[in-house]
Amino acid sequence: MIALPPKFVAFDLETTGLVNRKDEIIEIGAVKFTVEVKNGRVVPKLISEFDTLVKPNMLIPAEATNVNHITDKMVENAPPVGEALKQFTAFCGPGSILLAHNANFDASFLRTAYEQNPQFTPGNPVVDSLAISKTIMPELANHKLGFMANMFMKRGEISMTIDEEKMHRSVYDCEMLMEVFVALLRRRLKEKEWEMGSIMQAMAKYKGVPQFIRK
């Protein structure tokens, strides 16, 4: 039993492109979860989910729509990014550890969006699951989230059934990240290291060194 398990928020952004100063956020998805021990194995325990489309100040390029299937019509009545950020901040809460797969990308977009829409900026640590994956399983040629999720599913290490058609929508990718993150760290961490007082130090050993949105 984990006496005081941490709370995590796996989050994912969909954007109009890859450049944080030029492109914009068009969807924010997140899942809040903790961990528990079931049948002698540490597994994720979902707490809640968050998802909002975001109305950008630009048209969504066709290349972006081809990846995330989000169209201009879909975001027509969505909140502007400033409002979406307030909702995201409230969802995360002050005590959770944020996770993203390739966190440099997602954190850079959030940093820019909070700068351009002045408001309370969360001080939560942001940990990169991609860096952890490359450290724990360096033998893999591919560390993409979908690949990792499929691999763990086939090995019976995660319970989620992977649906290729749902990938690249924020909440679904967050659910995959939750499963992959726990499966990865389960390979290295002792049960007691999953506790709130130990988890940050434990992750740091495997390149899970946090960055912060708030500078």
Residue 183's domain is classified under what CATH number?
Answer: 3.30.420.10
Supply the angle between the helices 129-136 and 170-186 in degrees, to the nearest 10.
40
Q: What is the pLDDT of residue 161?
A: 77
Give the pLDDT band (50/70/90) at residue 188.
Answer: very high
Backbone angles phi, psi at 159, to 5 degrees: -95, -15
Task: Name the band, by pLDDT with cuts 50, 70 and 90, for residue 159.
Answer: confident
3 located within any domain: no
Q: H or E stretch including 10? A: strand 8-15
Please say whether the dihedral angle defined by the alpha carbons of residues 23, 28, 29 and 32, taken in this order, is positive or negative.
Answer: positive
| Residue 129 domain flag | yes
Give me the pLDDT at residue 169, please.
67
Confidence category of residue 160, pLDDT binned at 50, 70, 90: confident
β-pairing, 97-100 vs 41-53, is unpaired
Look-up: residue for tokens 């969909």? 14
Please give the residue range of the domain that contains residue 151: 8-212
Lowest mean pLDDT among 118-122, 132-136, 163-167, 190-194: 163-167
Residue 18, helix vs strand vs coil: coil
Residue 37 inside a domain? The answer is yes
Active-site positions?
A: 168
Answer yes or no: are the C-beta atoms of 151 and 136 closer than 8 Å.
no
Lowest mean pLDDT among 49-58, 152-161, 175-184: 152-161
Residue 1 domain-assigned?
no
Residues 6 or more apart whose Cβ sits within 8 Å of residue 134: 143, 207
Total number of domains constituting the chain? 1
Tell me the two tokens of residue 59.
């048209």
**Residue 26 included in any domain:** yes
Q: What is the pLDDT of residue 193?
A: 97
Domain assignment of residue 78, yes or no: yes
Mean pLDDT over all residues of the chain? 94
Structure tokens at 113: 């969006």
- Percent of the chain residues past pLDDT 90, beyond the cut: 90
pLDDT at 166 over 70: no
pLDDT confidence of residue 112: 97
149-165: average pLDDT: 86
CA–CA dist 211, 104 (Å, integer): 9
Query: pLDDT category, 162, cuts 50, 70, 90?
Result: confident
Within-domain flag for 34: yes
Question: Could you tell me if residue 2 is inside a domain?
Answer: no
Provide the 3-class DSSP secondary structure of residue 64. helix
d(CA 96, CA 98): 6
**Residue 82 phi, psi dihedral angles, 5° rounding:** -60, -40
